[in-house]
């Protein structure tokens, strides 16, 4: 009978990586069953939610504006919506475009230094938003 000794940092790292590898394999199996439309729309909703918080549309009045972060999120969302629109139904694309436009307008309103029309976040992909 072997009595286990105290674990070493190397043992802990090995166990950590084994658990990460198992979790990654399980996630890969799960994602294989998810339709592309659902992955695209879910990703867009996550980007939209994060951008809404950063642009000041959160319910929590103590949430700080972070327009630099909001710009990045809106740009990513615009690229995804524009590229993904032909792949998802018009019903999904229309609601995502509406949400994107609302975020772009909220960004313009919250910004102290206004971007020229056509140069706001995401407008490279969506065209000018007014």
> What CATH number should be reported for the domain holding residue 93?
1.20.58
Residue 11 lies in a domain: no
- In this structure, what DSSP letter does residue 130 have? -
Whether residue 78 contacts residue 47, with contact meaning beta carbons closer than 8 Å, is answered with no
Residue 41 lies in a domain: yes
Q: What pLDDT is attached to residue 75?
A: 98
Residue 116 lies in a domain: yes
State the pLDDT confidence band at 3, using cuts at 50, 70 and 90: low
Domain count, the chain: 1
Residue 31 lies in a domain: no
Give the pLDDT confidence of 83-116 residue by residue, as tens digits.
999 999 998 899 999 999 999 999 999 999 999 9
Residue 74 lies in a domain: yes
Residue with tokens 């990045």: 72
Residue 15 lies in a domain: no
As a whole number of angstroms, the distance between CA 74 and CA 110 comes to 14
Residue 19 lies in a domain: no
- Residues 25-50 have a mean pLDDT of 87
Containing domain of residue 104, as a range? 37-126
């Amino acid at each position: 009978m072997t009595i286990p000794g105290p674990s070493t940092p190397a043992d802990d790292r090995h166990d950590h990586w084994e658990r990460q590898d198992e979790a990654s394999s399980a996630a890969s199996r799960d994602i294989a069953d998810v339709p592309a439309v659902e992955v695209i729309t879910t990703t867009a909703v996550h980007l939209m939610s994060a951008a809404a918080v950063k642009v000041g549309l959160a319910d929590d009045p103590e949430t700080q504006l972070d327009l630099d972060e909001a710009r990045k999120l809106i740009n990513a969302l615009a690229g995804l919506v524009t590229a993904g629109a032909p792949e998802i139904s018009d019903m999904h694309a229309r609601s995502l475009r509406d949400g994107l436009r609302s975020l772009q307008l909220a960004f313009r309103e919250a910004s102290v230094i206004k971007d020229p029309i056509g140069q706001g976040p995401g407008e490279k992909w969506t065209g000018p938003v007014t």
